[in-house]
């Protein structure tokens, strides 16, 4: 019933993803959400985020940020990690997910998406045919509209986790 919202993987943090393994498996591009995926909502890039992007570039990845936020917020983060971006992306519409991987020179089979929300990040990535990774939000402080969606996400996550147990 909720399969379109299910991520391919659900992890505790962006910072525990084995990006080297994904590269060996043929992935060459990564599209990231920013807020609560890489840093707490509204915060600038920190040392951990900057180090991650340096590591990804050394591995050989192309990266793009995809955010529903306004340009000043997105630009502040992306300037610090030296990454291109699409702001006011309209997630979950798959249009800008596709634009991101086309710009990176990748395609739906060689691009990962990493985000912290099911109904925008994961659903849009799935509609674009990407390998979606859902991570737990970094910080509990969020805008009210996101807090409300989190209650609905719990229902989808419960269904997802039950499905995963049955598959094992």
Q: 37-82 pLDDT, tens per residue?
A: 999 988 999 999 999 999 999 999 999 999 999 999 999 999 999 9
The predicted model scores a pTM of 0.90
| Tokens 């909502």 -> residue | 41
How far is Cα 27 from Cα 32, in angstroms, rounded to an integer?
Answer: 14
Residue 88 pLDDT greater than 70, yes or no: yes
Looking at per-residue confidence, does 145 or 123 come out higher?
123
Q: Is the pLDDT of residue 140 over 70?
A: no
pLDDT tens track for 151-164: 678 878 888 888 87
List, for residues 91-111, the tens digit of each pLDDT value: 999 999 999 999 999 999 999
Distance CA 117, CA 46 (A): 21
Residue 144 confidence (pLDDT): 58
| Residue 114 · residue 135 · CB < 8 Å | yes
Residue 9 has pLDDT above 80, yes or no: yes
């Amino acid at each position: 019933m909720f399969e379109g919202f299910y991520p391919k993987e659900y992890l505790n943090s962006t910072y525990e993803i084995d990006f080297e393994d994904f590269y060996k498996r043929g992935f060459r591009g990564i599209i990231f959400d920013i807020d609560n995926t890489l840093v707490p909502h509204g915060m600038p890039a920190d040392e951990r985020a900057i180090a991650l992007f340096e590591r990804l570039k050394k591995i050989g990845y192309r990266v793009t940020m995809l955010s529903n936020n306004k340009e000043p917020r997105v630009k502040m983060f992306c300037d610090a990690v030296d990454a291109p971006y699409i702001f006011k992306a309209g997630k979950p519409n798959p249009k800008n997910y596709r634009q991101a991987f086309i710009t990176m020179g990748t395609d739906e089979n060689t691009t990962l998406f990493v985000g912290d929300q099911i109904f925008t990040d994961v659903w849009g990535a799935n509609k674009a045919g990407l390998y979606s990774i859902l991570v737990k939000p970094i910080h509990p402080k969020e805008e009210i509209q996101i807090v409300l969606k989190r209650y609905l996400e719990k229902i989808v996550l419960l269904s997802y986790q039950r499905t995963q147990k049955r598959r094992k």
